[in-house]
């Protein structure tokens, strides 16, 4: 594997049967058809109970992605989706390095790595458009290369012509934390258009060096019914709140009871991979050692329609956090009486 920075270029070997050059004209398509000329008209009504503060759209909609082509992610017989678990997802030394970096970073980090293509010698080629956080962008590219070489590439290779790039981020938590029920989506794209656009694929990577006896809770779960389940429960379960049970703190009312859920208890260096439209959550962390923060890395693949927007402002990046603060300020100013606003702008 080779990595260099100046725009991050990262290369990682593929298995010979996966060799498949990606041409620019193929990266310009979503699935086997071009993106719709009017995405809003092509979208499906879906109100998840959430309105981005920067969007004034009247009727919320979702613009679905095509299902993955991999049989393991989207079985053709019976169920239409599946959650795949991958052990030893990274080289062990890189997993520890990413864990330490996330703990020392002082908050979430995020980057977007654009897919440049697959070379004839089978190397994955990535580029990062920003030099604002070079250490973050280098690490994100190295994680993608390692994941690709150790199993993820085999699952994503059938969809390479659909992928514009990879959104990579890390969050840190601990005891008392939980990940509320949600569907991943292109956040800046939704804020601009009002359209909920899921990723093509969604991956989580668990990096805290703990054994199963060291903690309680924090299990990842994804529901195989996808957007159908999400439409019934809504953003953070706003349409179907979980029971007010302080003992269990279930993330959804059907957690542990609906056969459509697939679970992945937290485990060091374990990855989960699925179609990007599966709603998911992580259960309440009842016990966790205070000296070992809980680190989760997320990866989403996006198509060109939404990818070019996410590339400008990668989720959880410094640029993203600034954009959220500015949008909050914009909202406050929009509610200010006109005379006060004129006084402020004049001053």
Q: Show the CA angle centred on residue 242, arms to residues 48 and 84, nearest 5°.
A: 75
Give 296-333 pLDDT, tens digit per residue.
999 999 999 999 999 988 887 777 666 666 666 666 66
| pLDDT exceeds 80 at position 290 | yes
Least confident of 21-25, 39-43, 58-62, 186-190: 21-25
Q: What is the pLDDT of residue 330?
A: 62
Least confident of 40-44, 158-162, 279-283, 338-342: 338-342
Give 202-232 pLDDT, tens digit per residue.
999 999 999 999 999 999 999 999 999 999 9
Classify the C-alpha dihedral 7-18-203-188 as positive or negative.
Answer: positive
Q: Do residues 3 and 138 lie in contact, with contact meaning Cβ atoms separated by under 8 Å? A: yes
Beta bridge partners of 299: 168, 203
Q: Work out the number of other CB atoms within 10 angstroms of the CB of residue 308.
A: 15
All CATH 2.60.120.620 domain ranges of the chain, comma separated, are 2-26+36-312
Mean pLDDT score, 160-171? 96
Q: How confident is the model at residue 2 (pLDDT cuts 50, 70, 90)?
A: very low
Architecture in CATH of 2-26+36-312 = Sandwich (2.60)
Tell me, yes or no, if the pTM score tops 0.95.
no
Query: Nearest 5°: phi and psi at 205?
Result: -135, 125
96: tokens are 């520890």
Extended strands (E) in the chain? 2-4, 9-11, 44-45, 61-62, 84-86, 109-118, 124-127, 165-173, 179-182, 195-196, 201-206, 216-217, 220-223, 261-264, 270-275, 280-282, 285-287, 294-302
Q: What is the pLDDT of residue 259?
A: 95
Could you tell me which of 311, 114, 279, 113 has the C-alpha nearest to residue 198? 279
- DSSP output for 9-35: EEE-BPPGGG--PPPHHHHTSBTTBPP
Q: How confident is the model at residue 247 (pLDDT cuts 50, 70, 90)?
A: low
């Amino acid at each position: 594997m080779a990595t260099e920075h100046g725009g991050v270029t990262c290369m990682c070997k593929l298995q010979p049967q996966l060799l498949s050059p990606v041409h620019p004209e193929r990266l310009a398509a979503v699935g086997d058809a071009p993106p719709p000329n009017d995405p809003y008209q092509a979208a499906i009504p879906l109100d998840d109970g959430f309105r981005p503060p920067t969007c004034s759209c009247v009727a919320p909609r979702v613009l679905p992605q095509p299902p993955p082509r991999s049989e393991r992610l989207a079985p053709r017989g019976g169920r239409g989706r599946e959650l795949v678990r991958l052990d030893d997802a990274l080289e062990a030394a890189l997993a520890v390095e990413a864990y330490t970096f996330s703990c020392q970073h002082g908050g979430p980090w995020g980057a977007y790595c654009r897919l440049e293509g697959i070379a004839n010698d089978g190397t994955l080629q990535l580029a990062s458009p920003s030099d604002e956080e070079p250490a973050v962008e280098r690490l994100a590219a190295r994680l993608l290369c390692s994941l690709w070489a150790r199993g993820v590439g085999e699952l994503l290779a059938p969809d390479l012509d659909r992928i514009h790039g990879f959104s990579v981020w890390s969050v840190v938590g601990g005891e008392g934390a939980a990940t509320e029920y949600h569907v991943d989506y292109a956040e800046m794209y939704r804020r601009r258009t009002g359209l909920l656009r899921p990723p093509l694929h969604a991956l989580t990577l668990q990096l805290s060096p703990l054994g199963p006896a060291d903690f309680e809770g924090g299990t990842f779960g994804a529901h195989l019914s996808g957007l159908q389940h999400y439409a019934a429960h809504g953003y953070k379960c706003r349409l179907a709140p979980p029971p007010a049970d302080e003992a269990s703190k279930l993330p959804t009312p059907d957690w542990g009871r609906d056969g459509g859920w697939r679970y992945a208890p937290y485990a060091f260096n374990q990855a989960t991979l699925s179609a990007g439209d599966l709603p998911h959550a992580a259960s309440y962390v009842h016990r966790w050692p205070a000296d070992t923060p809980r680190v989760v890395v997320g990866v989403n693949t996006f198509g060109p329609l939404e990818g070019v927007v996410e590339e400008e402002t990668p989720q959880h990046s410094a640029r993203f956090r600034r954009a959220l603060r500015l949008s909050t300020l914009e909202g406050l100013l929009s509610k200010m009486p006109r005379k006060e606003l004129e006084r402020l702008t004049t001053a």
